[in-house]
Amino acid sequence: MRQALTATEFNFPGQTGVYHGKVRDVYSIGNRLVMVATDRISAFDVVLPKGIPYKGQMLNQIAAKFLDASADICPNWKLATPDPMVTVGVRCDSYPVEMIVRAYLCGSAWRAYKNGVREICGVKLPDGMRENEKFPHPIITPTTKAELGRHDEDISKEEIIKQGLISAEEYTVLEKYTLALFTRGTEIASQRGLILVDTKYEFGKYDGKIYLIDEIHTPDSSRYFYAEGYQERFEKGEAQKQLSKEFVREWLMENGFQGKEGQQVPEMTEAIVNGISERYIELFENITGEPFNKADTANLTERIEKNVLNYLATL
């Protein structure tokens, strides 16, 4: 029986705090964070009622791979991955803004555009664009970080600086890192026959230096199209074949749920849950070019605790 990890309540030696996010549970130990990627899944800023087997392992391993593959671009928080579902890293003071970068008009940006919106986060968009059309160059559309259960809010670069959320000097660095990371992700995706459509990056500060934090280029934070057939589908106005969490959002919307007040999450049957798990495995294998090796899920909590304790004992 495949188990899904939907909650953790660890108490590690030296632990000073814990934060339960939408998907990750983050334990503070001195100047380190122990980040557990659970099998929870969220959409429209709502955590869905059932976990997805192996999702946490996939997210954690993809993020670790891409953090390593981009460490020459900017410093990142990762120190070790003592368990398939855990990353240990430097505890940074995070900026209250997520840097979202888009290379194509799709998802929430397309939904806004087709309703007449021609400016997103201070970035003006031309008339006459079509769904899934490539922008002349990638655009950055930041959002403020919302509390659990609330929606992230679009915000412009000018407003971020005006509100004092990030200084103008530091924002320039974040922009530089964001575009360079996106270029690297695009290059790696291209080698795998994929298009990196959009993604988000989070940054923090430690000892006066800006670090890339959290996950990177995972299906929870990114959208990928298959390169083969993209142009033909676009010209015909057909839906793109994609690897992202958008299929979960589409399923929810088809069943009357967009995270709005009074709406109910549709029933997550075993078939739906298993189908989502298989789609995540498909993305893992396509983007990494490696087979996905399912870790033993018989005693997830015990396994994670043992591996983290063994790592902490080496410090």
| Model confidence pLDDT, tens digit, residues 159-183 | 999 999 999 999 999 999 999 999 9
The CATH number given to whatever domain includes residue 101 is: 3.30.470.20
Domain termination site, one of 227, 244, 261? 244
125 assigned to some structural domain: yes
Q: What is the mean pLDDT of residues 76-102?
A: 97
303 assigned to some structural domain: yes
The CATH number given to whatever domain includes residue 35 is: 3.30.200.20
Q: 103 and 238 share a domain?
A: yes
| Model confidence pLDDT, tens digit, residues 130-143 | 999 999 999 999 99
Q: What is the pLDDT of residue 246?
A: 77
Q: What is the pLDDT of residue 45?
A: 83
Q: Tell me the residue range of the domain where 294 lies.
A: 15-93+272-312
HEC string of the chain equals CCCCCCCCCCCCCCEEEEEECCCEEEEEECCEEEEEECCCCEECCEECCCCCCCHHHHHHHHHHHHHHHCCCCCCECEEEEEECCEEEEECCEECCEEEEEEEECCHHHHHHHCCCCCEECCEECCCCCCCCCEEEEEEECCEECCCCCCCCEECCHHHHHHCCCCCHHHHHHHHHHHHHHHHHHHHHHHHCCEEEEEEEEEEEEECCEEEEECCCCCCCCEEEEECCCHHHHHHHCCCCCEEECHHHHHHHHHCCCCCCCCCCCCCCCHHHHHHHHHHHHHHHHHHHCCCCCCCCCCCHHHHHHHHHHHHHCCC
Q: What is the pLDDT of residue 220?
A: 82
1 assigned to some structural domain: no
Q: 123 and 226 share a domain?
A: yes
Q: 56 and 71 share a domain?
A: yes
Q: What is the pLDDT of residue 147?
A: 59
188 assigned to some structural domain: yes
Q: What is the mean pLDDT of residues 53-66?
A: 96
pLDDT above 80 for 91: yes
Q: What is the pLDDT of residue 279?
A: 86
203 assigned to some structural domain: yes
| Model confidence pLDDT, tens digit, residues 30-55 | 999 999 999 999 988 889 999 999 99
Q: What is the pLDDT of residue 1?
A: 54
Q: What is the mean pLDDT of residues 85-90?
A: 98
Q: What is the pLDDT of residue 149?
A: 46
Q: 64 and 101 share a domain?
A: no
| Model confidence pLDDT, tens digit, residues 141-163 | 999 986 544 557 899 999 999 99
Look-up of token digits 């396509």: 286
Give the span between the Cα atoms of 186 and 73, in whole angstroms.
14
Q: What is the pLDDT of residue 243?
A: 78
pLDDT above 70 for 189: yes
Domain termination site, one of 244, 264, 290? 244
Q: 55 and 74 share a domain?
A: yes
287 or 88, which is more confident: 88
254 assigned to some structural domain: no
255 assigned to some structural domain: no
Q: 168 and 116 share a domain?
A: yes
pLDDT above 80 for 256: yes
When divided into structural domains, the chain yields a total of 2
Q: What is the mean pLDDT of residues 251-274?
A: 92
The two three-digit tokens of residue 28, written as one number:
């503070």
Q: What is the pLDDT of residue 2?
A: 77
Contact 197, 103 (CB under 8 A): yes
Question: Bridge partners of 230?
Answer: none
Q: What is the pLDDT of residue 293?
A: 96
The whole-chain average pLDDT of the chain stands at: 93
Q: What is the pLDDT of residue 145?
A: 80
The two three-digit tokens of residue 202, written as one number:
């989070």
Q: What is the pLDDT of residue 203?
A: 98
